[in-house]
Amino acid sequence: MNKLDTFRNLFPDFYNEIKNGHQQTLSKNHSGHGFDHDITVAMLALKIAPSVRLGQKAWCASLLHSTDRVVEDTKVKEAMISYSQQLKHFFDENEIIEIIEAALRHSELNQEDQKDTQIVLMDADRLANMQSAVIIRGGQFRHNIPAIDLKYLDGKKDPWSTYENPQTVLDNIRLIISQYTPQLRIKKAKVLGAFYSGRLKRYIQSIEDDYKKLGLVGIDV
């Protein structure tokens, strides 16, 4: 039995309720935060968590962390509490509160008051968004901006690009690398992050090399 099956069997009602929520509600507009993303984050959380119990809590928090893409904003916490009723056979009340808090606060920048479950979830979420699939997701969900800008194929991003508002899909990838890598806190996450970011950087370099050979870098067409 693989790890995913082990955890699906450990928390069957919790898993199925969240999966059904994704399938039935607002998740059609999830912008890359569908159930497949939640499962990816959950399995990464297991990989980087410093202890078994922490990994178990972070796995559950990972499944909850896209609830804001599934229900209306005013009902997010209520939905998380409802889903988490299915965890009472395994976690005590304080642990469940920590799981919900981690999911609710997962999009924050690093802060001193964040508990261990939230730290694992945040690192795992960043890692999931640094995997190679981000290249496909970037084009899919940012189809309204150019893929590249020839003026900025010399290793630099458009100065108008920000994390919230990249000017090209390529800049989106650049900004993910520059924003997420220094925010990773767990040792195993840093190692994995270095691997993922290195792979993305090589991909970006391959694009720049293609256009250099055509003499099309740094020009305005």
For 142-174, the pLDDT digits (tens) are 999 999 999 999 988 999 999 999 999 999 999
Q: State how far the Cα of 182 lies from the Cα of 104, in Å rounded to an integer.
A: 22
pLDDT at residue number 69: 86
pLDDT along the chain (221 residues), means of 10: 93 96 68 86 98 98 94 93 97 98 96 97 98 94 94 93 96 97 98 98 97 93 83
pLDDT in tens, 85-98: 999 999 999 999 99
Report the pLDDT value the prediction gives residue 193, as an integer from 0 to 100: 98
Residue pointed to by tokens 């409802």: 82
